[in-house]
Amino acid sequence: MRLIDGHTVDDVVACRDGAYAPFPLRDEPARWSLVRTTVVTSVGPVVVHHRPGPDPVLLLHGVAGSWTTWTPLLAAADGLRGRGVVLLDLPGWGSSPAPSAPLTIDDGSDVVSAVLDALGTGPVRVIGHSMGAFIGLHLAVALPERVRSLVLVSPTTAATVRAARHPWRALRTLPAYTLLRAGLLVTGRAAVPLLRGLAAVGLLRLLAAPVFTHVRRLDRSVLDAFVRELRPGGFTAAARSAAGYDTERWRSIACPVVAVLGRGDVFARPADLDELRELVPGVRTELLDDCGHFAHVEHPAVVAALLTP
């Protein structure tokens, strides 16, 4: 256990420049023997890519993500080495249609449960990014029998909850998150054509720069997906749901938990790991140098190394 910049972490991983974002995003399910199916849930149909197998792994994407956001991790982890795999596009993201009402954290865990039931999957190892990490934490609270372990990748946790409750105060603590939320609230549905218009005139890398440490070294597929999947309705719904969440519930989590955070993450801070250690018994924490908010894209091999039981 180490003290870094005044914050406690179990380890700090120094990532070599040559390993930064080595894989593109791929919409090629056959590459990993994944089958596409649609599962009907209480909030609408959900598109799932899956592969049966032992010791199944469930991957939950975050805001501005879909199942393809995990393909760099699949490439780095050799397709997760023969394990079963479940990747879903959460309602309103990727290929899953938007729900009729804004999605809540409880809805998220209900959707996951319905998908696992439909696939006949037993307990899973959950890997969640950002919003997906939040849903994974809640799943371990609400349905602990479903979760064997948790890996939280660039998780949005206590600081995001406070920012959602008190946006003016959060201008000091999480300015990027607060300004993005305000911008999407102001522009509403116009945000999507506005973002795509800015990308069309060559400002794509500028748009993505706050969340990646080396935006000029990203494959174009990563940038295109970021703009395509940044959906205002889903983002603001996630913020509203987080604002009302009681993080004290995480104290009941009993499964093994690992949390990995980039030192350059603009949606979370190293101090979040300290708070997570107070709330989640026995959590192991990792701080990645040279990393922003998409650790599984920026340094997929490092994240893959955390997946061992």
Domain ranges of the chain: 2-307
Pick from 7-21, 73-87, 205-219, 281-295: least confident: 7-21
Q: What is the pLDDT of residue 240?
A: 74
Average pLDDT over residues 211-217: 88
pLDDT of 139 over the 90 cut: yes
Q: What is the pLDDT of residue 245?
A: 86
Rounded (5°) CA angle 34-27-157 = 85
Q: In Å, what is the CA distance from 8 to each residue of 11, 39, 46, 72? A: 9, 41, 39, 29
pLDDT of 176 over the 90 cut: no
| Strand ordering across the sheet containing 44-51 | 11-13, 284-288, 257-262, 147-153, 124-129, 57-60, 85-88, 44-51, 35-41
Q: How confident is the model at residue 20 (pLDDT cuts 50, 70, 90)?
A: very high
Query: In this predicted model, which residue has the larger pLDDT, 292 or 226?
Result: 292
Q: How confident is the model at residue 188 (pLDDT cuts 50, 70, 90)?
A: low
- What 3-state class would DSSP assign to 78? helix
pLDDT in tens, 65-95: 899 999 999 999 999 989 999 999 999 889 9
Beta bridge partners of residue 213, listed in sequence order = none
The pair of structure tokens assigned to 188 is 């509403």
Cα–Cα distance measured from residue 61 to residue 94, given in angstroms and rounded to the nearest whole number: 10
Q: Which residue carries 């979040």 as its tokens?
A: 272
Q: What is the pLDDT of residue 211?
A: 83
Q: How confident is the model at residue 232 (pLDDT cuts 50, 70, 90)?
A: low
CB-hemisphere CA count at 13 Å for 180?
27
Q: What is the CATH number of domain 2-307?
A: 3.40.50.1820
Report pTM.
Answer: 0.86
